[in-house]
Chains A and B, each alone.
Chain A
Amino acid sequence: MTNSIELKDIEKYFGTNRVIPKLNLTIHQGEFITLLGPSGCGKTTLLRMIAGFETPTSGRVLLENEDITSLPPYKRNVNTVFQNYALFPHLNVSENIAFGLKQKGITGEKLTNAVKDVLETVQMGSFINRKPKELSGGQQQRIALARAIVNQPKVLLLDEPLAALDLKLRKQMQFELKQLHQQLGITFVFVTHDQEEALTMSDRIAVMNKGVIEQLDAPQELYGHPKSRFVADFIGENNTLSGTYNGTHFVSEGFSIPISSTVPKGKSLLFIRPEHIYIHREHPENKHKIEAKVIGKTFLGNLWRVRCKISNGEMVDVSVKPDEIAKINDTDTVFLSWNDQKSNLIHNQ
């Protein structure tokens, strides 16, 4: 697999404030990669460095092995879909889309055909003469997308492009973006703070926190095996138990669970997702179990969420199917068990 974008030893200061400390990232040709993280984690800054709107304080940006660190945005073969679409309000749909092609000297029939084709791709063929203000948010989104991809960039950068859309439209656009990615075969770099969006769309996700990539993995891997507390908390819901690993057992106040792991001995964290925990009224056979007291239950629609308190004082949330919830009452003493494969132990410095 060839490299599309390489970020080498990137460092970025805003004034004296270091927003990105020494970061390395390699993006493969044609992949859909998502930079995911809370606001202020540096994900947008990273995207803007690829686009050329920010220059790294030190380090290099490579596009297909060519150093583009000091190249201005208009000389880079990448295009951006902006968060607020940034369509030119004084130009109509076709003029907006033709803007980039005109800069490349494309005119006449070739230009008109390219505009028509891309409008078909985003299913906006009949809107060619509209002004941006005459379009809805979702339609503007498609035009912004068309305006970028018509230039056939090597990389398409998407800066939280779906943030302003309502939930239903967002789901629809997620699906369409994914399809478009497969259809075009170009590299997509997507920025979002929405972990669900990242999980459904990406080939790989880089979870960022305070300018650092905490984990870079495929969605399933990221969900199943978070490598840090931040990732475990940020991606989906997770229960975190704190204790010590003695080489054979994870030990905490009032319980000890056998685990074989390569994690070094010492303080450690055990992550288990609510949906991987079974709740029992009787003592189960399973080795991975703890005693707990039911604190409360919440209705979530398709599931119930039962909150339990375990012997070391930590809270554990458990997903329970509606037909089993009747058996569980507040202040009951229950047993929680899980499959060894589904829990995740990490070292805690």
Chain B
Amino acid sequence: MFLKLKPSFYLLFLPLALWMLLFLVLPYTRVFIQSFYTIDDFGVLQPALSFDSYKRFFTKELYYFTLFKTFGLSAVVTAIALIVSIPLAYYIAFKATKNKTLLYTLIILPLWVSYIVRAYAWKIILGEEGILNSFLQFIGFIDSPISALLYSDLAVVIGMVHIYTPFVLMPIYTSFEQIPTSLVEASKDLGANRFITFFKVVLPLSLPGIITGGTFAFVLSLGDFLAPNLLGGSNTLFISNIFQNMFGTSNDKPLGSAIGIVLLVVVLFVLDMSSRAEKRYSSLNSDRT
């Protein structure tokens, strides 16, 4: 469908188009091209059409294993964020009456604080001389601080769950809010108690929101390098840490670019799957059109 618009109207799109071109299209093109380059013995980029970087990525265990691990931990983060978000969103949407806005604001409040500050906060909580260790020592639960708390997979997962839960909660809450009260009442009217109503009516109808939320957490975790960096130390590497490293100390830009492209393909695949799934399960929205 084409709208008849004044030429001046298109001028409004110019800044956006320029932005997209400069900060999205050009860098990605550059990374894509670079992934086929080689480097000489002095680490200088040599234009070429070589699949060497991709070959190295898929044959060296450190690289592909890290990708799998990133997948695994991201899945764990997603699962925990969903398990936390669904009951919470349910409570805010259906049970909280007076404090609805307050609760919702509290949930999204962390988003107003810088990501790095939040990651550092966990460092302070989980560190060897951190709040948690001090507390456990104070109540006499442990004698000496547990050093395994920080710089572990667990620390990274905890930090990421905290950081990404608001992103998961928001779409789930929205989809709960869209469920007409009459459907919940109809279910109860037909003899279903609240648990059956939740699993047979509420959950299936909010599936699109749950998929969106889960996708947010998964994709954001996949590409995260700060939380693993700050909370995982050298013990927990995410694929983005290797990517970052290739552009830094290792100075292997072609391999870094290849990792970037692989990750991009993976993420696009995940997004495509999720949007298909969302369409499939969106019985509420299509009902309205």
Q: Which residues of A contact B (CB under 8 A)?
A: 51-53, 72-75, 78-80, 82-84, 86-90, 99-100, 103-104, 131-133, 147-148, 151
Contact = CB atoms under 8 A, between A and B. Distances in A.
B205 A151 contact: no
A88 B192 contact: no
A103 B183 contact: no
A17 to B, nearest CB: 16
Q: Chain B binding site: helix, strand, loop or mixed by DSSP?
A: helix
A99 B187 contact: yes
A147 B190 contact: yes
A79 to B, nearest CB: 6
A42 to B, nearest CB: 18
A82 B185 contact: yes
A86 B182 contact: yes
B185 A74 contact: no
A147 to B, nearest CB: 7
B123 to A, nearest CB: 44
Contact of B185 (A86, A100, A103, A133): A86
B283 A72 contact: no
B189 interface: yes
Given A51-B189, A74-B188, A99-B190, A88 B287 contact: no
B205 A89 contact: yes
A131 B191 CA distance: 22
Nearest to A144: B186
Contact of A88 (B183, B188, B193, B196): B183
Contacts of B200: 99
A300 B209 CA distance: 54
Contacts of B201: 88
A114 B193 CA distance: 22
A133 B286 contact: yes
Given A88-B201, A132-B287, A133-B286, A73 B188 contact: yes
A142 to B, nearest CB: 16
Contact of B190 (A53, A103, A133): A103
B186 A80 contact: yes
Please give me the 8 A-B residue pairs with the lowest Cβ-Cβ distance, nearest first: A103-B191, A100-B190, A86-B182, A90-B283, A86-B186, A89-B283, A73-B188, A89-B287
B287 A100 contact: no
Name the residue among A51, A53, A99, A104 with the largest chain B CB count within 10 angstroms.
A99
B72 interface: no
Find the residue from B180, B183, B188, B286 having the highest chain A CB count within 10 A.
B188
Contacts of A103: 190-192, 196
A84 B205 contact: no
A86 B286 CA distance: 15
A74 B287 contact: no
B284 interface: yes
Nearest to B182: A86
Contacts of A82: 182, 185-186
B87 interface: no
B186 A88 contact: yes
A133 to B, nearest CB: 5
A65 B110 CA distance: 55
Given A89-B283, A89-B287, A133-B287, A151 B182 contact: no
A68 to B, nearest CB: 14
A111 B193 CA distance: 20
11 contacts: A73-B188, A83-B182, A84-B182, A88-B186, A89-B183, A89-B205, A90-B283, A99-B187, A104-B191, A131-B283, A133-B286
Contacts of A87: 186
Contacts of B192: 74, 99, 103
B47 interface: no
Given A82-B185, A89-B287, A100-B190, 14 more contacts: A73-B188, A74-B189, A74-B191, A80-B186, A82-B186, A86-B186, A90-B204, A90-B281, A90-B284, A103-B191, A131-B283, A133-B287, A151-B190, A151-B191
A88 B183 CA distance: 7
B210 to A, nearest CB: 13
Contacts of A90: 204-205, 281, 283-284
Contact of B180 (A74, A84, A99, A132): A84
Contacts of A79: 189-190
A86 B183 CA distance: 5
A132 B183 CA distance: 13
A312 B287 CA distance: 58
A52 to B, nearest CB: 8
Interface string B164-185: 0000000000000000101101
Contacts of B284: 89-90
A53 B186 CA distance: 10
A88 B186 CA distance: 9
Interface string B201-237: 1001100000000000000000000000000000000
Contacts of B204: 90
Contacts of A86: 180, 182-183, 185-186
Contacts of B205: 89-90
Nearest to A76: B189
Contacts of B191: 74-75, 100, 103-104, 151
